[in-house]
């Protein structure tokens, strides 16, 4: 019997504190209207001092589990994406496992930057279809504000904090029109690793007083070349996966993409020839929440009624590494 992985619940969480364009622009001498024009962002959220990525993850997981109608006791595994883990080890997923109260099930982190949610979704899909588990929580949680230099305009204007989650369950296939994940395709190009990175804090450049003084533990990004590569690679990945599965782009009900900035979403919308109404956008309200942005946008699209049963939904992301990914779902 063939098993197909189905998304049975979505959830998201955004911290209470709202950070306006006026606030982030003040240190940089940039007017709020200019920030909005450059990024498509009006505001972003910031985690409280007491909150870590695991706290945000749990807050996103609970509504996803509720929407799925799945008790924590029936959860089979946890896969978590983050670039801002609670600790170097143990994994943030293990912290989430403890906080949810579902001990002994497998729990691990995925490190694929802004593509991490789709990488995690692929790992969870493989576990379900191979029979290792029947259900899985895939969650992405980011506290990006703690790795951003507020004096760096390339990053300070963009990033916010948040978390998004989905609950997956394996169900018997019922022919070609079975609902669930149709396919996920992952890509990476390590030769471009320098386009977006946090230079210090790992084994290559351990923490020293010098690295702290040089702000080498903050996010560094080459905005213009990263923008061009993101548009090129994601456009290519989307075209490849729809061709592989025989789907016309015009038949896609919603494109849910990594919310990097408004200009990237606009460029992809034009390149693909789809109407803006079919491209889910929450970038204006929440900013770039790294790997959490896609599941946050997905939850928004589901709860606002933009995604309905049997709709074809396209998922796409691009991030550091560089990494990128695309997926198709029949909802």
- Asked if 39 contacts 12 with a C-beta cutoff of 8 angstroms, the reply is no
Which residues touch 224 (CB under 8 Å, ≥6 apart)? none
Cα separation, 204 vs 233, in Å, equals 28
Question: What H or E segment, with its residue span, contains residue 197?
Answer: strand 196-197
Cα separation, 50 vs 62, in Å, equals 19
* Cα separation values, 261 from 57, 105, 170, 264, Å: 23, 36, 34, 6
pLDDT recorded at residue 289: 98
pLDDT recorded at residue 148: 97
> Half-sphere exposure of 130 toward its Cβ, with a 13 Å CA cutoff?
7
DSSP-assigned beta bridge partners for residue 220 = 197
pLDDT in tens, 121-175: 999 999 999 999 999 999 999 999 999 999 999 999 999 999 999 999 999 988 7
- Averaged over 12-38, what is the pLDDT? 97
Cα separation, 289 vs 142, in Å, equals 6
Which residues touch 104 (CB under 8 Å, ≥6 apart)? none
| 316 pLDDT more than 90 | yes
pLDDT recorded at residue 174: 80
pLDDT recorded at residue 178: 85
> What backbone phi and psi angles, to 5 degrees, belong to 82?
-160, 150
Q: Which stretch of 41-50, 170-179, 228-237, 240-249 has the lowest confidence by average pLDDT?
A: 170-179
DSSP-assigned beta bridge partners for residue 329 = 181, 313
Residue 28: alpha-carbon gap to chain centroid? 27
| 230 pLDDT more than 80 | yes
* Residues catalogued as catalytic: 114, 258, 288
pLDDT in tens, 248-279: 999 999 999 999 999 999 999 999 999 999 99
pLDDT in tens, 102-116: 989 999 999 999 999
Domains along the sequence of the chain with CATH: 3-172 (3.40.47.10), 180-330 (3.40.47.10)
Cα separation, 319 vs 287, in Å, equals 15
pLDDT recorded at residue 67: 98
pLDDT recorded at residue 175: 74
């Amino acid at each position: 019997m063939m098993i197909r992985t189905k998304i049975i619940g979505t959830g998201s969480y955004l911290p209470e504190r709202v950070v306006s364009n006026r606030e982030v622009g003040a240190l940089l001498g940039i007017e709020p209207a200019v920030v909005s024009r450059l990024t498509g962002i009006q505001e972003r959220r910031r985690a409280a001092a007491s909150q870590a990525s695991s706290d945000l993850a749990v807050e996103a997981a609970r509504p996803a589990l509720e929407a799925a109608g799945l008790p924590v006791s029936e959860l089979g595994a946890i896969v978590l994406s983050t670039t801002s883990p609670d600790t170097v080890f143990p994994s943030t997923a293990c912290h989430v496992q403890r906080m949810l109260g579902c001990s002994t099930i497998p729990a691990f982190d995925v490190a694929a930057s802004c593509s991490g949610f789709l990488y995690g979704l692929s790992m969870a899909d493989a576990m379900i279809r191979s029979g290792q588990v029947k259900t899985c929580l895939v969650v992405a949680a980011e506290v990006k504000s703690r790795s951003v230099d507020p004096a760096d305009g390339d990053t300070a204007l963009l990033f916010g904090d948040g978390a998004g989650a989905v609950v997956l369950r394996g169900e018997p296939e019922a022919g070609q029109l079975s609902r669930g994940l149709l396919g996920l395709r992952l890509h990476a190009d390590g030769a471009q690793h320098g386009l977006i990175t946090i230079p210090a804090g790992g084994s290559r450049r351990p923490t020293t007083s010098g690295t702290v003084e040089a702000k080498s533990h903050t996010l560094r990004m080459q905005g213009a070349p990263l923008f061009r590569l993101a548009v090129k690679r994601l456009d290519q990945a989307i075209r490849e996966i729809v061709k592989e599965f025989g789907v016309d782009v015009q038949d896609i009900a919603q494109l849910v993409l990594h919310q990097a900035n408004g200009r990237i979403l606009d460029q992809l919308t034009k390149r693909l020839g789809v109407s803006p109404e079919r491209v889910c956008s929450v970038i204006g309200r929440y900013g770039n929440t790294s790997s959490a942005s896609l599941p946050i946008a997905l939850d928004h699209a589901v709860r606002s009624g933009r995604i309905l049963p049997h709709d074809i939904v396209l998922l796409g992301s691009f991030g550091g590494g560089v990494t990128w990914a695309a997926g198709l779902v029949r909802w």
